[in-house]
Chain A
Amino acid sequence: MSGEYEAYERLIAPIEDKMMRAVWSVTQNPDDAEEALQEALSIVWRRFDRIQRHANPQALILRICLNAAYDLLRAKIRRRRREARYEPEQARPVGPDVQTGREEWRTAVFEAIGQLSRNQATAVMLRLVQGMGYDEIAQVLGCRASTARKHVERGRQRLRELLAPLVADDGPEVAI
């Protein structure tokens, strides 16, 4: 059995579920989730030696997964904007696949997340979606807990600015 195989069992096997949930939460689409995971695994493949020497390899791998999914989301947003410029009536929202009109607000969420910096987006996703504490987020981002908190707060503040108009005037329920 090779050293790499043992390293997989030690580093990646325990976080397989987290990796899959990370790419799924951002893409919400089977094909995109697959593409993001493949991209992340190809980065892990190329940098496996360096990753093993990292202070927190699992946090780094998780971050690579989130970044791959986030980059895919950003690319789709850019593509959609380009298409909308030429064919506005046929513009299709990005993020989760559009199956019903109810998905419009989800699209708005993904569009808003796409406007955050990568660190802010990752921090907000880890906090709100994965329910991580600031210490855990700091490990993933490779920064101090106070900086992680700052990324979360700034990201949330920006999302609130962008998404507040979608919230119903008469209460906290989401306008969908």
Chain B
Amino acid sequence: MNRNEQTDNAVDKMIRNAMDTDMPDEVDQRLRGHLRIFRERLAMRGRFSPFDMGRPWPLARLAAAFLAAALLLFFIGTFVGGSTPSWAEVAEQFGSAPFLNATIYVKSHALAEPVQIEIWMGQGGKLRMRAGHEIIFGENGRIIERVAIGDKEGPRPDLEYAQGMLQDVIRDMSKAETFSLETLIAALPIDGQLSAPLENQLARVSNDMVVFDITPEASPDWVRIWALRESRLPVRLLYWHPETGENVDVVLSYGGEPPSSFFDPETFQAHLSENASPVDIAYALVKDIGGRPLAPQDIQR
């Protein structure tokens, strides 16, 4: 057993010792008392008033739902105007994009420095990613090449954390024929039963944008997606955990499909030379959709 494993075992042991599950009898009795009272209250619940909102009350709920729907329709008709894209339309439009660029910032807690990861994905399961000093090429859910650029980095737990989170999304998205917002959301550290994406009128910054919120059933974290109203393309996705400040911010942009050489590790490695700057290498074959230079070699050109 090496030193790291010894430390790991010792830390596990500390946690187990600290969180002892053996309860003193006195505590056992006190907690059982609460459970007994709860059981009795629950047994009495059948006698509650029909207006107790804690009980299933189909007519009251139906009326409330009808009222809420009517108010929502009135609000949309009055203040928004035009058609509001549904979540299904946004998800469908995302799936039909030929080429996707996602810049992802991950913070493991409120005071952590963000880690930036860049991903370029083409249809048909092709992927290229930059994480730290490494360019990763993938195809159909597999990593086919890892190329180190620049100086060798020391261990970076923050980067490993971010990469760990993205591992599933990269695998699942590059396996699928089309991009999927659901896959992207499933890779976030959010858990439990998720609500259906609901439009959040308050978060909308302008009329040409639609904002959806997704919330889990039993925890306070949330996901927000901003999409363009006309094109129905999502442009930003934010995951936020209010208890820790952990967050994942994804900026999405789109473009025409690049040449296949963009995803080819051999073509990429041909660009590696001792004289090339790390910026040249990191963005080799990447083209700005607006025609602006991205790296020193683009300026010369």
Contact = CB atoms under 8 A, between A and B. Distances in A.
Q: Which of B24, B43, B108, B218 has the most chain A CB atoms closer than 10 A to its own CB?
A: B218
Contacts of B152: none
B246 A117 contact: yes
Interface string B40-54: 011111100000001
Contact of B39 (A5, A110, A118): A5
Contact of B16 (A20, A116, A129, A171): A129
B19 A172 contact: no
A25 to B, nearest CB: 4
B21 A21 contact: yes
Interface string A131-173: 0000000000111001100110110111111011011100111
B154 interface: no
Contacts of A48: 42, 54
B11 A160 contact: yes
Interface in A29-69: 30, 33-34, 37-38, 41, 44-46, 48-49, 54-55, 60, 63-64, 67
Nearest to A171: B6
B38 interface: yes
B39 A163 contact: no
A2 interface: yes
A67 to B, nearest CB: 7
Contact of B243 (A16, A19, A28, A117): A117
A67 B219 contact: yes
A129 B42 contact: no
B9 interface: yes
A124 interface: yes
B11 A167 contact: yes
Given A60-B218, A67-B219, 19 more contacts: A2-B42, A3-B46, A5-B39, A8-B39, A8-B43, A12-B39, A19-B35, A28-B19, A33-B23, A34-B30, A37-B35, A49-B55, A95-B18, A96-B18, A143-B191, A156-B11, A161-B157, A167-B7, A171-B6
A4 to B, nearest CB: 4
B31 interface: yes
A19 B46 CA distance: 25
Contacts of A21: 21, 23
A174 B17 contact: yes
Interface range, B side: 35 or more
A13 B42 CA distance: 13
25 contacts: A1-B43, A5-B43, A20-B27, A20-B28, A20-B35, A24-B21, A24-B23, A24-B31, A25-B20, A30-B26, A33-B27, A37-B31, A38-B34, A49-B55, A113-B15, A115-B244, A119-B189, A128-B15, A128-B19, A129-B16, A142-B217, A147-B168, A150-B164, A151-B189, A172-B13
A-B pairs, top 8 by smallest CB distance, nearest first, are A2-B46, A109-B18, A142-B192, A172-B6, A5-B43, A143-B191, A106-B18, A172-B10
A174 B14 contact: yes
A118 B219 contact: yes
Given A8-B39, A30-B24, A129 B15 contact: yes
B34 to A, nearest CB: 5
B157 A157 contact: yes
Contacts of B244: 115-118
Contacts of B11: 156, 159-160, 163-164, 167
Nearest to B47: A2
B83 to A, nearest CB: 33
Q: Which of B16, B32, B219 has the most chain A CB atoms closer than 10 A to its own CB?
A: B219
